[in-house]
């Protein structure tokens, strides 16, 4: 999918996806007309491109290794999801169940742009400027600029959308939601129109409305089927709703979609791996969880939550030395991100909000939402060096 600047993203959706057969079966009752099937060719292509699970070096107790910073910052070419060998051509849904408050009908009434990027001109040049501000993480400034535009040109959908993004990046999800909804219901064409659903999905997620979040992500995928991050979002919703089979399938599918892009930021792979680890932790499959979490920290050693979860696994297993080492890695990761570890003494470090975890995991899935559907590189979670993502790039939602 092209970015808002018209620059194509590396890799493309192949029209295929995968899921382990068991998980796919659990989902198959909700398959929609947009259900996708994994082609054998696609699976093979993925397999050829990456280091499958068997090729990963065995992890010894207490000797979890991680790539260097340089290594972790590099995009990876591809990686096979752990159960790729079990992938079948069973369909996986794009559209899930719709609960009360179904907004899919309203969503469907919105137009189906985007227009060709080259031909699109914003209603006001300041919109483009604001977009660039968002890309450089000047969210508050962008907010002011976009509010100005909207005061002068009310009803400009693209400005509403970008204003929503600027606000969302400042963690004000309720307000952002309002602007995304306006951007959608104005029924105007602009390059990012479909992605308003994606951002809306994250806003709803962080506001705690799983039904609305699911609907928004599903609508986004209906419009932009290759959006891996919306699949990831659906996985988190499934976790929240304790649909572990669904969550597993969605995270695997997310991985598959990422890897099919050919070049993918390590952090995105790490996120998916870490969330698979969550699924297995939930299911008390500690060995599987350990495998996924180790994979996550190998891809992205700053994944401090993954280190923390590894420590939990080791604690549960009585592997105290390993647990201590994992916690040490967690602290190191936090330091690299400019944060303090949870065991370290407090300091006047600028984290002045009560409940230091008051916004846990911001910068996580929801904050950085969406690699490809983001408005610009700076906001993408895949920028592992971006300090803005800092605390919680992997986690954020439990």
Residues that bind another protein (CB under 8 A): 140, 170-175, 178, 205-210, 239-240, 242, 278, 281-282, 304-305, 307-309, 311-312, 315-316, 318, 320, 323, 327, 330, 342-343, 345-361, 391-392, 394-398
CB of 172 to another protein, least distance (A): 6
Closer residue to another protein (CB): 20 or 396 = 396
Q: H/E/C letters for each residue in the chain?
A: CECCCCCECCCCCCCCCCCEHHHHHHHHHHCCCCCECCCHHHHHHHHHHCCCHHHCCCCCCCCCCCCCHHHHHCCECCCCCCCHHHECCCCECCCCCCCCCCCHHHHHCCCCCCCCHHHCCCCCHHHHHHHHHHHCCCHHHHHHHHHHHHHHCCCCHHHHHHHHHHHHCCCCHHHHHHHHHHHHHCCCCCCCCCHHHHHHHHHHHHHCCHHHHHHHHHHHHHHCCCCHHHHHHHHHHHHHCCCHHHHHHHHHHHHHHHHHCCCECHHHHHHHHHHHHHHHHHCCCHHHHHHHHHHHHHHCCCCHHHHHHHHHHHHHCCCHHHHHHHHHHHHHHHHHCCCCCCCCCCCCCCCCCCCHHHCCCCCCCCCCCCCCCCCCHHHCCCCCCCHHHCCCCCCCCC
CB of 193 to another protein, least distance (A): 24
Closer residue to another protein (CB): 30 or 351 = 351
Closer residue to another protein (CB): 36 or 236 = 236
Closer residue to another protein (CB): 268 or 367 = 367
CB of 209 to another protein, least distance (A): 8
CB of 286 to another protein, least distance (A): 10
Closer residue to another protein (CB): 58 or 353 = 353
Closer residue to another protein (CB): 74 or 336 = 336
Closer residue to another protein (CB): 55 or 352 = 352
CB of 109 to another protein, least distance (A): 26
CB of 12 to another protein, least distance (A): 33
CB of 394 to another protein, least distance (A): 8
Closer residue to another protein (CB): 25 or 172 = 172
CB of 176 to another protein, least distance (A): 9
b/e sequence 110-139, b meaning 16+ C-beta within 10 Å:
beeebeeeeeeebebebbeebbebbbebbb
Using an 8 Å Cβ cutoff, are 228 and 254 in contact?
yes
CB of 8 to another protein, least distance (A): 34
Closer residue to another protein (CB): 12 or 140 = 140
Closer residue to another protein (CB): 117 or 172 = 172
Give Cα separations from 391 to 46, 302, 336, 365, 384 (angstroms): 31, 10, 10, 11, 12
Distance CA 341, CA 330 (A): 7
CB of 261 to another protein, least distance (A): 27
């Amino acid at each position: 999918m092209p970015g808002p600047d018209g620059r194509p993203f590396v890799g493309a959706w192949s029209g295929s996806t995968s899921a382990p057969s068991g998980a796919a079966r659990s989902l198959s009752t909700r398959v929609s007309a947009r259900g996708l099937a994994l082609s054998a060719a696609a699976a093979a292509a993925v397999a050829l491109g990456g280091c499958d699970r068997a090729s990963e070096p065995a992890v010894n107790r207490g000797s979890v290794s991680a790539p260097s910073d340089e290594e972790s910052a590099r995009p990876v070419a591809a990686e096979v999801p752990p159960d790729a060998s079990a992938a079948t051509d069973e369909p996986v849904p794009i559209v899930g169940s719709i609960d009360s408050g179904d907004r899919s009908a309203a969503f469907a009434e919105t137009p189906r742009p985007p227009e060709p990027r080259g031909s699109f001109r914003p209603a006001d040049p300041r919109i483009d400027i604001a977009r660039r501000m968002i890309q450089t993480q000047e969210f508050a400034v962008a907010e002011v600029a976009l509010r100005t535009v909207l005061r002068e040109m009310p009803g400009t959908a693209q400005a509403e959308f970008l204003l929503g993004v600027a606000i969302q990046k400042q963690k004000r999800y309720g307000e952002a939601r309002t602007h995304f909804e306006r951007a959608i219901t104005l029924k105007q064409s602009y390059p990012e129109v479909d992605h308003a659903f994606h951002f809306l999905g994250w806003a709803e997620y962080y506001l705690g409305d799983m039904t609305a979040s699911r609907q928004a992500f599903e609508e986004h995928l209906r419009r932009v089927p290759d959006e891996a991050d919306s699949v990831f979002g659906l996985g988190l919703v499934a976790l929240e709703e304790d649909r572990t089979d669904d969550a597993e399938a969605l995270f695997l599918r997310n991985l598959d979609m990422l890897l099919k892009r050919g070049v993918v930021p390590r952090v995105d792979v790490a996120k998916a791996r870490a969330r698979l680890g969550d699924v297995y932790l939930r299911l008390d499959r500690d060995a599987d969880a350990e495998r996924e979490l180790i994979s996550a920290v190998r891809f992205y050693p700053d994944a401090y939550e993954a280190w923390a979860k590894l420590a939990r696994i080791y604690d549960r297993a009585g592997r105290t030395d390993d647990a201590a080492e994992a916690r040490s890695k967690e602290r190191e990761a936090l330091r690299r991100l400019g944060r303090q570890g949870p065991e370290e003494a407090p300091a006047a470090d600028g984290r002045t909000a009560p409940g230091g975890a008051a916004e846990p995991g911001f910068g996580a899935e929801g904050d950085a939402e969406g690699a490809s559907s983001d408005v610009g590189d700076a906001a993408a979670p895949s920028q592992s060096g971006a300090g803005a993502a800092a605390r919680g790039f992997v986690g954020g939602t439990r």
